[in-house]
Amino acid sequence: MEQVVIAGAGPAGLTAAIYTARFKLNPLILGGPVPGGQLLVSDIVENYPGFPEPVSGADLMDRFQKQAEKFGARFQSGAVEQISKRHDIFELDTGREKIETKAVIIATGAEARRLSIPSEKKFYGRGVSGCATCDGAFFRDKEVLVVGGGNTAMQDALFLTRFARAVTIVHRRDYLRAAAAEIDKVKNNQKIRWLIPWGVQEITGDTTVNGAVLKNTETGETRHVMCHGIFVAIGHDPKTEAFKDVVEIDENGFIIVEPGSTKTVTPGVFACGDVIDPVYKQAAVAVGHGCMAAIDVEHYIHRRK
Partner 1 sequence: MLSTNLKHLETDQETKEALEKNENLMICCGRMGPMCLPVYAIMEELESHYSHVALRDMDFDIPAANFIKRLPECSSFMGLPFTVYFKNGKVVAATSSIQNRAQITEILGRVFGKPS
Stretch that binds partner 1, among 133-141, 166-174, 213-221, 243-251 (CB under 8 A): 133-141
Among 24, 26, 33, 241, binds partner 1 (CB under 8 A): 33
Q: How far apart are CA 32 and CA 108, in angstroms?
A: 7
**Does the footprint of partner 1 cover residue 122 (CB under 8 A)?**
no
Active site residue 291: no
Task: Give the nearer residue to partner 1 in terms of CB position, either 20 or 155.
Answer: 155
Q: How far is the CB of 56 from partner 1 (least distance, A)?
A: 11
Instruction: Rule CB under 8 A: choose which of 109, 150, 229, 268 binds partner 1.
Output: 229
CB of 112 to partner 1, least distance (A): 9
Among 24, 84, 88, 95, interactor with partner 1 by CB under 8 A: 95
Note if 227 is an active site residue.
no
Tell me, letter by letter, the H, E, C secondary structure of 30-67.
ECCCCCCHHHHHCCCECCCCCCCCCECHHHHHHHHHHH
Q: Which candidate in 134, 174, 184, 245 is catalytic?
A: 134
Distance CA 24, CA 71 (A): 9
DSSP letter, residue 71: T
Q: Burial of 288 by CB count in 10 Å (0-12 exposed, 13-18 middle, 19+ buried)?
A: middle
Task: State the Cα–Cα distance between residues 13 and 239, nearest whole angstrom.
Answer: 13
Contact criterion met (CB below 8 Å) for 272 and 264: no
Closest CB 131 distance from partner 1, rounded Å: 5
Find the catalytic residue in 43, 131, 237, 291: 131
The residue among 130 and 150 lying less far from partner 1, judged by its C-beta, is 130
Bond from prior residue into 238 cis (ω within 30 degrees of 0): no
Q: Which positions from 192 through 221 interact with partner 1, judged by CB under 8 A?
A: 207-208
For the bound state, the minimum distance from the C-beta of residue 174 to partner 1, rounded and expressed in Å, comes to: 31
Binding site for partner 1 (CB under 8 A): 33-36, 38, 40-41, 58, 77-78, 95-96, 124-131, 133-135, 138-139, 207-208, 229
Q: Which residues are catalytic?
A: 131, 134-135
